[in-house]
Chain A
Amino acid sequence: MQVFLHQFFDVGFMVEHFDEVLEGFWLTIQIWIVGAVLALAWGLILALLRQLPGKGVLPVRFVTIAYIDVFRAIPLLLLIVLIATGIPSLTFLPKAIRIPEWLGKPDPFWYGTLALTITYGAYMAEVYRAGIEAVPRGQIEAARSLGMSHRQTMRHVVVPQAVTKIPAPMLNELISLMKDTTLVSVVALNETLQVASDIQSHSYNSSALTLGALMFLIVILPMARLTDKLIARNQQKITRGAHIEVA
């Protein structure tokens, strides 16, 4: 027991390395926020492209659906490695894009953000789609009969209602996204996992990793509780027969 506690829960060791791990966690939060904002925007664009009406844009719809299917199927870890090892070798690209160091962040940060955006954009697109499809058909007909274009209908009628129907699944994706930022450690970004496992490999003590896990818990547990609450509230609405959220 003593050995177990020393290996995983050495409080003195945690205190000693707290600042280093926290610095890594701060980078985790940053890549999470940048990735989340980009994935939310990209996902909405994908979802809207997928909903375009008419025969003329059939190819656009097809490509969008193919994109969403493909990137939901490719492992994120593989994609991160693919991007981080491949893009620097594309010599025809300007250096600022091959090896991006925007906003003072190292290039692995941006490779990771790109991979997260690509993959989570596809996930988010599916969440938006569920929300858009949950808006009653009559809403679209009413807007169209008032002379609004497809674009105006989406912007002023469908999307504002769709986003109120999907906070729970959206939060779930954001939680997954946060956890998946640890995968970017594979390309040597000094986020939580990378920092903590460096400490472990020097000291053979795993407590820094435990500390990293605790930091994740502190942020994610409230989000998970909130998700449950939203789902429960929605369930009540459904049993009352009011408008339905996608949970």
Chain B
Amino acid sequence: MLQLKGVRKRFGELEVLRGVDLDVARGEVVCILGPSGSGKSTLLRCVNLLEPPEQGEIFLEGQDICKGPGSGTGESSWNLDFVRQRVGMVFQQFNLFPHKTVLENVTMAPEKVLGNSKQAAKEKGTALLERVGLADKLGQYPERLSGGQQQRVAIARALAMEPHVMLFDEVTSALDPELVKEVLDTMRELAQEGMTMLVVTHEIGFAKEVGDQVVFMDGGVIVEQGKPAAVLDSPREARTQKFLGLVLER
């Protein structure tokens, strides 16, 4: 489904990704853990080309998305359309469109990008918002919603593009503790339905329960990866042990 080979990315002097290899099978949930600055978010952003990698290859459904005309420039090219129609992303800060209602947030891209009719987009959007438990909020503006509700709208918005892979970038980190569960529940359901997911998170419990694979990153490389039970309960690497110790101590 998704393969990364030797992916490197630098911002000026700082090399954020120093050669990352990763295999994600269809329907797999991969949870990425690591301290801040370890390159987790950048890795996700490389996968949907918000930050095109400088070196290495990323295969999405067999296609190398880093090659081809216009690749690396971050601008329109075949691979950008190819990727963005297959990969959905949810952000830490929700990034809902504040000037649009909840339903319009979800229908905008299907209408403008996929060319769905207003009616079709509306039906799909309504169904998706029902699925994330927000059927009563269709006409509201995002600022009237709680953080957890906003994040569920953001998930519905990404799903409306019918992605094959979903990227979650610390989607519960900006939420009040009591709102975290409703978002994680939505993600859990999505995983059960067989969605391929890359999840950058600090929620160890979620990683353990839902993850098929856990990846621990530090300093721009993958330090350790494997089954959640193995990595989280009996980590081999000292850096992983230290990080988990600090997180679980809280």
Contacts and interface: CB of A to CB of B under 8 A. Distances in A.
A85 interface: no
A52 to B, nearest CB: 10
Contacts of A164: 99
A154 to B, nearest CB: 12
A144 interface: yes
29 contacts: A53-B74, A53-B75, A54-B75, A55-B73, A136-B93, A136-B95, A138-B91, A138-B95, A139-B95, A141-B91, A141-B95, A142-B89, A142-B95, A142-B96, A142-B154, A144-B84, A145-B50, A145-B89, A146-B84, A146-B108, A147-B113, A147-B161, A148-B113, A150-B76, A156-B112, A157-B97, A161-B97, A161-B99, A243-B98
Leading 7 A-B pairs by shortest Cβ distance: A142-B95, A146-B109, A147-B84, A138-B95, A145-B89, A54-B75, A147-B113
Given A53-B74, A138-B93, A156-B108, A145 B99 contact: no
A160 to B, nearest CB: 5
Given A139-B95, A141-B50, A164-B99, A146 B157 contact: yes
B158 interface: yes
A189 B157 CA distance: 56
Of A142, A147, A156, most buried by chain B (CB within 10 Å of CB) is A147
A152 interface: yes
A184 B89 CA distance: 54
B238 to A, nearest CB: 35
Interface string B43-85: 0000010100000000000000000000001111000010011
A43 B89 CA distance: 34
Does more than half of chain B's interface fall in helix, strand or loop, or is it mixed? loop
B116 to A, nearest CB: 12
A152 B112 contact: yes
Nearest to A153: B112
B228 interface: no
A149 interface: yes
A153 to B, nearest CB: 10
Interface string A143-187: 111111110100011001100100000000000000000000000
B91 A142 contact: yes
Given A138-B91, A142-B91, A161-B98, A147 B109 contact: yes
Contacts of B84: 144-147
Contacts of A152: 112-113
Does more than half of chain A's interface fall in helix, strand or loop, or is it mixed? helix
A142 B50 CA distance: 10
Contacts of B112: 148, 152, 156
Nearest to B154: A142
Given A138-B91, A144-B84, A145-B84, 6 more contacts: A145-B87, A146-B158, A148-B108, A148-B109, A148-B113, A161-B99
B39 interface: no
B211 interface: no
Of A143, A146, A150, A243, most buried by chain B (CB within 10 Å of CB) is A146
A48 to B, nearest CB: 16
B99 A147 contact: no
A55 B108 CA distance: 28
A56 to B, nearest CB: 8
Contacts of A55: 73
B88 interface: yes
Nearest to A52: B75
Interface string B188-222: 00000000000000000000000000000000000
B169 to A, nearest CB: 10
Contacts of A146: 84, 88, 108-109, 113, 157-158, 161
